[in-house]
Amino acid sequence: MNRKIYLALINHPKDFLWPNLANDLKKCVSLPFEPINISMDLELYFSRERGQYYSTLILANLLKFLPQDGEKIVGITDVDIYIPILTFLFGEAQLNGKGALVSTFRLRNEFYGLPTDYQIYYERLKKEILHELGHTFGLIHCRDFECVMNSSTYVEDIDLKHSRFCSICRKKLELYHKK
């Protein structure tokens, strides 16, 4: 695949200290990542009642930022996101689509009253990006608890899995690219 996967940093996420994120992800899976900064008025998607941001609407808007040479776009935001039916989300993706969104809000240790740990935070972020990206390639949740496509309800579940696809999911990815 030659077309790029854009990592869109929405409104300069707080404590985002990893200029090499795209290169690091490339090491996990051989895909051409490219970081970009974008600005978005997130207040349009804010729910006063819930104190959270509506993920699906952010995602819909994010697609407008996909450059011409882009295959996919993964937005990274530091706000707490939701969909109406669920209390919270780590990320949302279009199954077999072009866009995905990841929130760092609940990936940080501080959210759970624990001391800051940038290493853990970074690992969680990489896994969530790969997970949501996997959905855009048509991958569904995987039963292999070490596979990055394993479903994560809580942050502990993210910590359990690895930042790579299992052999079966990798095979499916390859098939997707061949198509």
Partner 1 sequence: MRGYKILIVDDELSVRRSLQEWFLEDGFEVEIAESGEEALEKMHRGPYDIILLDIKMPGMDGITLQRRIKEIDPQAIIIIMTAYASVETAVEAIKLGAFDYVTKPFDPDELSNLVRNALKQKDLTEENLQLKETISELTSHQNIIGESPEMQRVFELVNTVSATDSTVLIRGESGTGKELIARAIHFNSKRRYFPIVAVNCGAIPENLLESELFGHEKGAFTGAQYRRKGKIALSDRGTLFLDEIGDISPKMQIDLLRVLENKRVTPLGGNKEIEVDFRLICATNRNLEKLVEEEKFREDLYYRINVFTIFLPPLRERRGDILPLARYFIKKFARAMGKPVKKISPQAEELLLSYSWPGNVRELENAIERAMVVGKKRELSVEDLPFYFDKRPNMIGKKMALADIEKQHIERVLAETEGNITRAARLLGIDRVTLYNKLKKYGIQR
Catalytic site residues? 132
Which of 85, 113, 156, 178 is the binder for partner 1 (CB under 8 A)?
Answer: 85
The reply on whether position 128 binds partner 1 by CB under 8 A is no
For the CB of residue 55, give the shortest distance to partner 1 in the complex, in Å.
9
Which of 4, 75, 92, 148 is the binder for partner 1 (CB under 8 A)?
Answer: 92
The reply on whether position 22 binds partner 1 by CB under 8 A is no
The reply on whether position 160 binds partner 1 by CB under 8 A is no
Which of 84, 115, 119, 156 is the binder for partner 1 (CB under 8 A)?
Answer: 84
The reply on whether position 151 binds partner 1 by CB under 8 A is yes
Q: Which two tokens stand for residue 147?
A: 């596979």
150 vs 163 by CB, closer to partner 1: 150
Stretch that binds partner 1, among 13-21, 29-37, 70-78, 150-158 (CB under 8 A): 150-158
In angstroms, rounded to a whole number, what is the distance separating the alpha carbons of residues 22 and 44? 29
Which of 154, 167, 171, 175 is the binder for partner 1 (CB under 8 A)?
Answer: 154
Buried b (16+ CB within 10 A) or exposed e, 139-159: beebeeeebbbbebeebeebe
Q: Which two tokens stand for residue 72?
A: 């996919």
The reply on whether position 168 binds partner 1 by CB under 8 A is no
The identity of residue 147, as a single letter, is C
Count the residues of the shown chain that bind partner 1, applying the rule CB under 8 A.
Answer: 20
Residue with tokens 């006063």: 48
In angstroms, rounded to a whole number, what is the distance separating the alpha carbons of residues 144 and 120? 21
Containing H/E element for 89? Answer: strand 86-89
CA atoms within 13 A on the CB side of 76: 29
Residue 4 burial (CB count, 10 A):
19
Q: Which two tokens stand for residue 1?
A: 């695949």
Query: Which residues of this chain interact with partner 1, rule CB under 8 A?
Result: 50, 56, 82-89, 92-95, 135, 140-141, 151, 153-154
